[in-house]
Amino acid sequence: MPIGRPPAQLTRDIARWREDGWHEARDALAAEEPLEIRLAWQENGQPQRKSIAITMRTPGNDFELALGFLFGESIIRSADDVLDISYCPEEVDPQEFNIVIATLRPGLVFDLARLERNFFTTSSCGVCGKATLEALEIQGCDVLAGGFQVDASLLTRLPDELRQAQAVFEATGGLHAAALFTATGDLLDSKEDVGRHNALDKLIGAQLLAGRSDLSDAVLMLSGRASFELLQKALVARIPVVAAVGASSSLAIQLAEAFNITLAGFVRRSGFNVYTGRERIRA
């Protein structure tokens, strides 16, 4: 039987660093889980069903999310185009509440080919967090080695260093940024974009062009929160330490823990929270 819908908020024991040293604490986390959106419709009198997208989300209002997605992609024009929307009845613990099926009204015409070109699709029901992490292992992502370390005082300086590198943000106030630093705090490179994922892609892409595909001697600083997708990109690039100005989602922490990435959030001059990999940070 299903264990119930995933919560929107979780808690976790963390280590909090301040100028007087380490403190044990309990932190509230925004939950992050994949949501698979499926379509069901009739074609030439035959029932059809297809997975069209997977998105990371905070659980809750999943039907509204799916309808908004379908409307934004011009699959539907109104709620009347959807006969029924429900969680996946065939799946159990905990996938059922991570899969939404929208059944379209008969005769509705939509461009399925465009969806297939623009969005990641899958026939798998394994969209729970555990299955997502296992997929990374299947793709050949190994656990990161230990040994790399940084000073706690260095991490507290990185938000200011990142802000100084954000030329366009200073002018517009509307961009995310990602930057790479050495273990001694030297800026290797930084990139900006309206999308946090784009900023990191630009940063890693620049390193690839420079001949660096393994960034196991670098620290990644993010201007916003640390999500699963950002940690996934850091894992593929083999970045051992990820620090973020904002919070870390629950699935990002699960990924960091599974692959031995040091993950710090709420990084400020006064300190930061460490969710995983505390051993890489010298206090």
Active site residues: 125
Q: Which residue has the tokens 């007087």?
A: 20
Nearest Cα residue to 80 out of 106, 53, 117:
106
* Residue 256 contacts residue 242 (beta carbons within 8 Å): yes
* Residue 18 contacts residue 236 (beta carbons within 8 Å): no
H or E segment to which residue 202 belongs: helix 196-209
CA 124, CA 118: separation in Å to the nearest integer? 18
Residue type, 51: S
C-alpha torsion angle, residues 161, 162, 165, 170 (rounded to 10): -110
CB neighbour list of residue 128: distance below 8 Å, 6 or more residues apart: 33, 34, 94, 95, 98
3-state secondary structure of 167: helix
CA 165, CA 177: separation in Å to the nearest integer? 9
The count of C-alpha atoms lying within 13 angstroms of the C-alpha of 118, restricted to the half-sphere facing its C-beta, is 8
